[in-house]
């Protein structure tokens, strides 16, 4: 057996050379990394080697031998990576592989894209092409306890009755992927992205030996799955990275996701990536469980841990049994996915805007950890608000290394008596930023003193203020660099101007280089291409893509999105839409006297006096006005489409608050209501006629609606109102049964 240093030296010697040639970088028990031919940790792990003394010409004709070698190597890859049951030693595999490569060099006409020799070979790229997929990859709704799972079951039974089964399967904690086969060949692989648009990572995914390049089925297969790295493999990877002076990966999920986005596929090939497919988009079987079995029969890797459950009690039993043994599995999991097994029934249940109604992810209880609080610092937001942040001794929590956690505001620090040096309890639930829950006072150092809030802004050094009744400190310096950075990020984000490729680090570079000093300067960047190229990690293609994204935003955004991005106090996307409908474009707004703006907007339902005053004050502010005038001078064109209002609309005189999840975006419902003469309220208030409730509506909103006289309706009731039909009075006995939402 190699010594520790010998194994790492052997891996370094072979990872960059032998692996690209097709040999194996084996990892065994998370520790042993040995070169090809060592016999103990590649596809023939545990299989005794019987390497022949030399490679002899095979008597078969070239084409027949080529076909035999390809099939043999694919069979060995499947046995090792999918079945975890190696059938040959590394040395024997390597001998066959080299024979195949030599045969293809002598007979190039025999080489095909699905040959085992063709997994690695593409040159490094400069970026990834975005791909829009025809069928969206949805997220899953979450459940955190038995009550929420039973509520999910109740909704299913309410929609389709009895006589169905569930299938439960592990929720593997990895990187989501879509892989497409056509004519038997793997032709494309894309990341999840936002569900509708992902990035093309085909050349990287081809290097994953668990994924066959060819399957024995000519039909189109669109597969969804999870790419992962086994925990024991991650340990070996991090040991190797340490010898190279590279940072360790925090967890297998980060390692898998990062490996998919490497620009050089030869580097991806060095990572021991695996995959478990869990779905086929095209209908393939009567049930989900049967579909998984069929995929396995084609040689496609699945998790092999699913179970059919007759009812929700069986689902709960599966979860309990799975929880007892999930630490033994070769991958990390963060829950269990429960799906309606019968495919034919899924259409009856349908989808919301974000997730299928026929599936849910049971997530394990939020993890907590205890660690030392070293310092408390403050982040500066776009409005100047200072948010205290706990800087901690690094600790593992929910699969990530946590070194910062939110303290929310000054009152929380005082209420919990949080002090520098304390041992604090932190929690991370779902996708939420880690929070400080409390303090272990028994471990408090004797010298620990109550925290004193800063008197000056940490970003600009100007004095901060705390308004009466507020729990936050604010920097009121309009030239504060911290406020500028936060404001630029808010302006360019999705939901506002949506400027692709302009992330936080690049924004900071642009500010540091003096290229951007206010929001309008973003639109001056395209004219400074040479200066862009002088920034770190900015090549010609990156610069050109950024310029194209800015030019697109210059003329391709609505006025409401521009108003949202400006960060006018109290003006979110809904209020911005109302203001934009009133004025149409920025020029018209700026040409209106502030007093007239306030009077006009105060009369618009849904805006009110405070928002009207805020918009008027923003337009009157000389500095803000100068920025907006500069935008117009730089060619920003942002107009608001005029909504057509139906004369004598069926919703005239009615007002709605829309909440919950729907099959379409809420903005579309808002527009429909207004187009038919109705009004939209951001929250339930006195005078709200209806609360239109989608999926998983909070109990608080239901109760508020009832107390204030609003009737709670679903989409069916709303459709009747649109058609001009009258509704039945509300059923008081059932209206309060909706559960609290499981997601923030």
Catalytic residues: 171
- Distance (Å) of CA 419 to CA 234, 372, 409, 449, 733: 36, 10, 14, 6, 49
Taking a C-beta distance cutoff of 8 angstroms, is the pair 460, 540 a contact?
no
Residues in the chain: 744
Measured from the Cβ of residue 719, the count of other Cβ atoms closer than 10 Å reads 11
The token pair at 118 is: 């063709």
**H-run or E-run covering 428:** strand 423-428
Taking a C-beta distance cutoff of 8 angstroms, is the pair 370, 315 a contact?
no
Backbone angles phi, psi at 97, to 5 degrees: -65, -45
DSSP result, 512-577: HTTS-SSGGGGGGGGGGHHHHHTSTT--HHHHHHHHHHHHHHHHSS-HHHHHHHHT-TT--HHHHH
CA 734 – CA 103 distance, rounded (Å): 74
Q: List, in sequence order, every beta strand (DSSP E) within 252-366.
A: 274-280, 307-309, 333-340, 359-363
Q: List, in sequence order, every beta strand (DSSP E) within 695-739.
A: 711-713
Alpha carbon 651 to its chain centroid, in Å, reads 37
**How many alpha carbons fall within 13 Å on the CB side of residue 348?**
13
CA 547 – CA 532 distance, rounded (Å): 10
DSSP code of residue 557 = S
CA 728 – CA 709 distance, rounded (Å): 15
Q: Give first-to-last CA distance, the chain, whole Å.
A: 52
Of 258, 242, 256, 251, nearest to 396 by C-alpha is: 251
CA 79 – CA 83 distance, rounded (Å): 5
**H-run or E-run covering 481:** helix 481-492
Return the SS3 of 740: coil
Beta bridge partners of 225: 177, 277
**H-run or E-run covering 656:** strand 655-659
CA 449 – CA 119 distance, rounded (Å): 60
CA 680 – CA 224 distance, rounded (Å): 39
Taking a C-beta distance cutoff of 8 angstroms, is the pair 167, 341 a contact?
yes
Of 587, 600, 582, 608, nearest to 674 by C-alpha is: 582
Taking a C-beta distance cutoff of 8 angstroms, is the pair 523, 631 a contact?
yes
**H-run or E-run covering 597:** helix 594-602
CA 294 – CA 216 distance, rounded (Å): 12
List, in order, residues 6 or more apart from 614 with CB less than 8 Å away. Answer: 568, 569, 570, 571
List, in order, residues 6 or more apart from 519 with CB less than 8 Å away. Answer: 487, 488, 491, 565, 566, 627, 631
Of 152, 176, 174, nearest to 164 by C-alpha is: 152
**H-run or E-run covering 637:** none
CA 226 – CA 253 distance, rounded (Å): 10
């Amino acid at each position: 057996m190699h010594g520790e240093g010998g194994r790492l030296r052997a891996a370094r010697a072979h990872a960059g050379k032998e692996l690209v040639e097709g040999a194996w970088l084996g990892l065994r028990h998370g520790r042993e990394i040995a070169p090809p031919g060592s016999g103990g940790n590649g596809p023939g792990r545990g299989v005794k080697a019987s390497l022949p003394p030399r490679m002899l010409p095979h008597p078969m004709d070239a084409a027949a031998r080529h076909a035999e070698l390809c099939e043999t190597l694919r069979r060995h890859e499947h046995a090792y990576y999918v079945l975890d049951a190696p059938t040959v030693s590394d040395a024997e595999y390597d001998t066959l592989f080299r024979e195949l490569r030599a045969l293809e060099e002598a007979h190039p006409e025999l080489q095909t894209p699905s040959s085992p020799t063709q997994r690695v070979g593409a040159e490094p790229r400069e970026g990834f092409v975005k791909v829009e997929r025809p069928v969206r990859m949805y997220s899953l709704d979450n459940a955190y306890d038995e009550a929420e799972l039973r509520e999910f079951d109740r909704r299913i039974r309410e929609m389709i009755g009895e006589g169905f089964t569930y299938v439960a399967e592990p929720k593997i904690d990895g990187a989501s992927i879509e892989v497409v086969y056509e004519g038997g060949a793997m032709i494309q692989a894309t990341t999840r992205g936002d569900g509708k648009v992902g990035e093309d990572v085909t050349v990287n995914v081809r290097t994953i030996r668990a994924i066959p390049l060819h399957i024995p089925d000519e039909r189109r297969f669109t597969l969804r799955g999870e790419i992962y790295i086994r925990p024991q493999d991650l340990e070996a990877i991090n040991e190797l990275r340490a010898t190279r002076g590279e940072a360790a990966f925090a967890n297998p999920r980060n390692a898998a996701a990062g490996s998919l986005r490497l620009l050089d596929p030869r580097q991806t090939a060095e990572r021991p990536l695996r995959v478990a497919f869990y779905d086929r988009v095209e209908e393939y079987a009567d049930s989900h469980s049967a579909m998984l079995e069929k995929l396995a029969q084609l040689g496609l890797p699945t998790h092999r841990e699913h179970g059919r459950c007759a009812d929700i009690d069986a689902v709960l039993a599966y979860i309990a049994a799975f929880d007892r043994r999930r630490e033994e599995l070769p991958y990390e999991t963060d829950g269990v996915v429960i799906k309606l097994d019968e495919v034919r029934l899924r259409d009856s249940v349908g989808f919301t805007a974000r997730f299928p109604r026929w599936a849910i992810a049971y997530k394990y209880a939020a993890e907590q950890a205890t660690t030392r609080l070293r310092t408390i610092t403050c982040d500066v937001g776009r409005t100047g608000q200072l948010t205290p942040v706990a800087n901690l001794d690094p600790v593992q929590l929910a699969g990530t290394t946590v070194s910062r956690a939110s303290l929310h505001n000054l009152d929380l620090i005082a209420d919990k008596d949080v002090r520098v040096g304390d041992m604090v309890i932190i929690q991370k639930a779902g996708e939420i930023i880690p929070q400080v829950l409390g303090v272990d006072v028994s471990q408090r150092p004797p010298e620990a003193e109550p925290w004193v809030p800063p008197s000056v802004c940490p970003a600009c050094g100007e004095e901060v203020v705390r308004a009466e009744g507020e729990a936050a400190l604010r920097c009121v310096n309009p030239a504060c660099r911290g406020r500028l950075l936060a404001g630029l990020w808010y302006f360019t984000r999705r939901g506002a101007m949506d400027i692709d490729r302009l992330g936080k680090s690049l924004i900071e570079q642009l500010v540091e280089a003096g290229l951007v000093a206010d929001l309008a300067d973003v639109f001056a960047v395209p004219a400074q291409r040479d200066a862009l190229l002088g920034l770190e990690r900015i090549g010609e293609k990156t610069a050109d893509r950024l310029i194209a994204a800015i030019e697109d935003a210059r003329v391709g955004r609505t006025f409401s999105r521009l108003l949202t991005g400006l960060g006018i106090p109290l003006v979110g996307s809904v209020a911005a839409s109302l203001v934009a409908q009133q004025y149409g474009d920025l020029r018209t707004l700026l040409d209106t006297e502030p007093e007239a703006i306030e009077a006009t907007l105060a009369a618009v339902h849904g805006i009110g006096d405070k928002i009207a005053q805020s918009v008027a004050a923003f337009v009157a502010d000389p500095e803000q006005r100068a920025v907006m005038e500069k935008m117009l001078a730089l060619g920003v064109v942002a107009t608001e489409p005029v909504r057509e209002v139906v004369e004598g609309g069926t919703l005239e005189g009615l007002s709605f608050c829309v909440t919950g999840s729907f099959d379409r975006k809420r903005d579309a419902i808002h527009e429909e209501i207004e187009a038919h003469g109705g009004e939209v309220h951001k929250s339930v208030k006195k005078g709200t006629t209806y609360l239109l409730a989608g999926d998983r509506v909070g109990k608080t909103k239901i109760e508020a609606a009832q107390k204030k006289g609003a009737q709670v309706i679903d989409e069916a009731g709303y459709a009747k109102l649109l058609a001009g039909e009258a509704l039945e009075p509300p059923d008081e006995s059932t209206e309060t049964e909706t559960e609290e939402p499981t997601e923030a």
